[in-house]
Structures are given as C-alpha cells and as structure tokens.
C-alpha cells in the first residue's frame, strides 16, 4: 500500500527531446524574425537610403548590358534570326519568376532575396541550397561579365589610340590568354565604389545606366540603316531546339532583375518600392533586348556572328564604314558592363551578409563598417574572389553555369510564393501574383524546361557545385545555424529548472 502521509515527490519538468536531423533541416525562420533583423550586422547596421528610382536603376544596371553586348554573339549561332524569339522566351521565363519575386519582396523586404524567402517557407536546407545557387548566380556572373568587358575595352583602345592589350593579358586561359587583366581591373573598380556605401554606389550606377541606354538607342538608330530583310528569310534554321538552347543561354541576360530584392534592408520604403522596381526594370530591359537583337540580326547575317563578344561594335563599324561609331558604342559598352559588375557584385555581398547573419557562413561577411554603413570585409573578399575567377575562366562556361544556378533559384521562388500564401494567408502583401497558383506554376515549368535545354557539361558542373555546397553546409552551417542555436536554448533552460 502507498503511504498516504508521504510527501508528494517533486517533479522536475523534463526537457522536450532535441529535434532530429530531419526536423533541423526543415526548420523555418519566422517572417517576423527575418524582418526584425533587417539591416542588423556585426558591429553596425546597413543604412536605408535607396528610393524607387535608385532601386530600379540597380535592377536595370544588373541586367541590361551583358546579354546584348556580350552573350548575343554566342546565342545567334544557336538560333539564327529566331534569336529574337529566344529573347522573348527567356523574358517570359523571367517575367513569371519576377511576379513571384515582386510579391515576396514586398512581403519579406530583407537583403537575402530568394535565400531568405526559402528560409521562411521551405526550410533551412532548401534555403542553403538556394543561397548556394545565388552565390553561383551573382558571384560567378560578375566574373563572366568582367570577361566580356575586356573585349569592348580593346575595341575602345583600338579606335582611340590605335593599340590593344595583348591576348595574353586580355583573354582567359583556354581562349588564347594567360591572365585576363581587364576583367580583374573592372571588378576592383566596382569594389572601390561599393566600399564607399550603398548610396554612393547607387549614384554612380544611375549615371552608367543612363549612358548604356543611350548607347543602345544610338545603335538602333544607326544599325537599322543596314537592315536587310533577306537576313530573316530562314527565320528558324536550327528549329525550336536551337531557339530553346539560345533562350537558355540568353537567360543569363536577365540575371539581375532580382538585384533590387537584395537591397531590401537599404530601401527607404521596401514594401512599396521593391515590387515596383522589379517589374519596371524587367519591362524596360526586355523591350530594349528584343529591339536591339532584331536590328542586329537584320544588319548582319546570322552566320557571321561566330561567337563574337563585341558584335554590336562590329555592326556599327560595318554599317557606317567608319570606326568612329563602333568606337563610340564600345565606350558605351565599357560603361554598361561596368555597371553590371557593380550592381551584381553588390547583390552578392548582401546575400552573403544575410547568410552570415543566420550563422550559415562565417561572421566576417556580416560585419558592417560604422562609417560607411557597408560590409567592407565582405566586399573585399567577394571582389577578390570574383576578380581572380574572371581572369582565369572562359566566358561561355561561366554564362551557362550561372544560368542553371539562377533558374534553380527562380524555381524555388515560384514554389515559395505559393507555400507562403497557404501557410500565412493573413500577411500584408503590397503586390500579389495574379492568377496564383497558375502563374507561379508556369514560372516553375519554364525554369525546369530551360534547365533541361542546357548541356550535360553544365549539369555536371552544377552537380559538382551543389556537392561542394552541401559539404560546406554540413561541416559548418548545420552546426552553427543561429536558428538552431536559438531553439536549443529553450530545452536547456527547461532542463535547468
């Protein structure tokens, strides 16, 4: 029998069991926490100084230039005159994803872009994969763009002072060079602007964006004088497969419209301005791409492009019979591509800033300089890495690898917007994707289709990149995640009691 007079035994509350590996990998970061941490870094905070105009210019700056000045020469031999259709297909793919980006940017206005959106909706492991893809998208595209910058710099030097940088110092290994010095220089110039702070960088970028839009409009005015309808007689010589392959390559041209979303913690009114900036920039860029491509193919037979990385300057020179106009366009291209390097490099640093704040990459990437309000150490590390990469890797391989990483990240954003609609329907959304979930599903389908159009080599490179990323996550990020650390503190406190 029990002794009725015995004092009751004291009961110590037991700590709940620690979450398993699967639960930790699927752990989501609350939207409220993401927003509350906005701007906060190690030793300081980012400054909110960007309005709608600056945000739109950041997106245009990061997008407009590369595809039309550089990658067009690679895409035309794949699709022929139908390259204009390839631009439209790539633009539609970007549009569907841009709608999803616009909704999430207005709902979760933080610096991490699709990485943060995935963290709030799909869990930590998927967020890491998305962030790792963004490193490929932004960091590697900086290098790819910088490679093309040297081609136009040589055009400019040849037309002005009659000298060019030798191939050994202006082309990467594999393309006849030893070290691509111009590519390294343009990355370091962009780094110098970024170290001054977001506001100063945005001002310089706005000036460069205006210059490159004027340069492209000038090309259209002069290039149309050499237009020959016969160049369009065999519109689709390589069939739809060629159009699709060129579209997948040209999707590289649309990388950057999401750059405004990386400025979420430096925008004055992020929820209102980010969706507007994303959509406005994409419309402007797509219109310019299609018009310029149509004029270029009309002025030069498609078989004559031959992977030229300075195709527009050549067309200007051939149409006018003078070197002046080609030189002038080359000057515009030098400025245009420099602005792409500047804004895409900016986006890369802000994504790593967000990942570092979450503990998934080292703290040095979220350290903010108190005077400039910029992550200086982050900027230095990323710039030096991208500069060396630009000097050592051929453009074509970089462009395709960047495209597949971007498409994968965009696919996740289309999934994330539907998940957040279902899990948090009460949240305030300053922009809503129309016809959801139909349009996000189309965005996802287009991304998968275009990924399938890329070469087997590109998939192998992408698989290797993902494998490296997972090794880094499980050896570093998994153990140092601040979200996981915060959740384990509660059971520890209960156990002490």
Q: Which of 218, 148, 241 is nearest to 455 (CA)?
A: 241
Distance from chain centroid for Cα 217: 25
Which pLDDT belongs to residue 487?
Answer: 60
Q: Which of 295, 496, 263, 249 is nearest to 397 (CA)?
A: 249
Q: Is 42 helix (H, G, I), strand (E, B) or coil?
A: strand
- How wide is the angle at C-alpha 282 spanned by C-alphas 277 and 288, nearest 5°? 130
What is the pTM assigned to this prediction? 0.81
CA distances from residue 303 to 196, 235, 265, 485 in whole angstroms, order as listed: 45, 12, 47, 59
Which pLDDT belongs to residue 128?
Answer: 93
pLDDT in tens, the chain (497 residues): 444 444 544 444 554 455 666 777 788 888 888 888 876 777 677 778 888 999 999 889 888 876 677 678 778 888 888 888 888 888 888 888 889 999 998 888 888 888 999 999 999 999 999 999 888 878 777 877 787 777 778 878 887 888 888 877 777 666 777 788 888 899 999 999 998 887 888 888 899 899 889 988 988 999 898 888 888 888 888 888 888 888 877 876 787 778 888 888 888 888 889 899 999 998 898 888 889 889 988 888 888 777 565 677 788 888 888 878 878 877 888 888 888 888 888 888 989 999 999 999 999 998 988 877 788 999 999 999 888 888 876 655 556 677 788 888 889 999 999 999 999 998 888 899 999 899 999 999 988 887 887 788 888 888 888 999 999 999 998 888 888 776 655 444 334 44
Which pLDDT belongs to residue 396?
Answer: 57
Which pLDDT belongs to residue 18?
Answer: 56
Q: Which two tokens stand for residue 180?
A: 């691509």
């Amino acid at each position: 029998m029990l002794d009725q007079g015995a004092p009751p035994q004291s009961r110590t509350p037991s700590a709940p069991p620690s979450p398993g590996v699967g639960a930790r990998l699927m752990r989501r970061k609350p939207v409220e926490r993401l927003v509350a941490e906005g701007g906060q870094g190690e030793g300081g905070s980012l400054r909110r100084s960007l309005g709608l105009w600056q945000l739109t210019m950041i997106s245009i700056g990061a997008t407009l230039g590369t595809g039309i000045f550089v990658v067009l020469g690679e895409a035309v031999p794949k699709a022929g005159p139908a390259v204009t259709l390839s631009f439209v297909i790539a633009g539609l793919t970007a549009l569907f994803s841009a709608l999803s980006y616009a909704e999430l940017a207005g709902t979760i206005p933080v610096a991490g872009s699709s990485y943060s959106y995935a963290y709030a909706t799909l869990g930590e492991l998927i967020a890491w994969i998305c962030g790792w893809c963004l490193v490929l998208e932004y960091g590697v595209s900086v290098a790819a763009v910088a490679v093309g910058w040297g081609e136009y710099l040589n055009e400019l030097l040849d037309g002005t002072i009659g000298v060019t940088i030798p191939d050994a110092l202006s082309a990467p290994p594999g393309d006849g060079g030893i070290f691509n010095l111009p590519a390294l220089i343009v990355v370091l110039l962009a780094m110098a602007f970024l170290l001054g702070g977001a506001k100063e960088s945005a001002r310089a970028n706005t000036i460069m964006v205006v210059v490159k839009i004027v340069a492209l409009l000038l090309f259209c005015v002069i290039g149309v004088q050499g237009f020959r309808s016969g160049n369009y007689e065999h519109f689709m010589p390589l069939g739809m497969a060629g159009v699709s392959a060129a579209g997948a390559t040209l999707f590289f041209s649309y990388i950057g419209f999401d750059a405004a979303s990386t400025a979420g913690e430096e925008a004055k009114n992020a929820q209102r301005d980010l969706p507007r900036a994303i959509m406005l920039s994409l419309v402007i860029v797509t219109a310019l791409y299609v018009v310029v491509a149509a004029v270029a193919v009309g002025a030069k037979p498609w078989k004559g492009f031959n992977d030229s990385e300075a195709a527009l300057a050549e067309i200007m020179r051939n149409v006018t019979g003078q070197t002046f106009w080609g030189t002038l366009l080359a000057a515009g291209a030098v400025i245009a591509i420099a602005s792409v390097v500047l804004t895409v490099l900016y986006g890369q640093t802000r994504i790593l800033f967000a990942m570092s704040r979450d503990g998934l990459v080292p703290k040095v990437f979220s350290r903010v300089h108190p005077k400039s309000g910029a992550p200086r150490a982050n900027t230095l590390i990323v710039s030096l890495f991208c500069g060396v990469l630009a000097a050592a890797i051929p453009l074509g391989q970089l462009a395709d690898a960047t495209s597949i990483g971007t498409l994968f990240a965009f696919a996740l954003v289309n999934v994330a917007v539907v998940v957040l609609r279902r899990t948090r329907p009460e949240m305030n959304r300053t922009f809503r994707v129309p016809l959801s979930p139909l349009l996000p599903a189309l965005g996802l389908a287009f991304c998968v289709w275009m990924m399938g159009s890329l070469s087997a080599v590109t998939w192998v490179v992408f698989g290797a990149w993902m494998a490296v990323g997972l090794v880094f996550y499980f050896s570093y990020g998994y153990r140092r995640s601040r979200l996981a650390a915060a959740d384990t503190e509660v059971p520890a406190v209960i156990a002490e009691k």
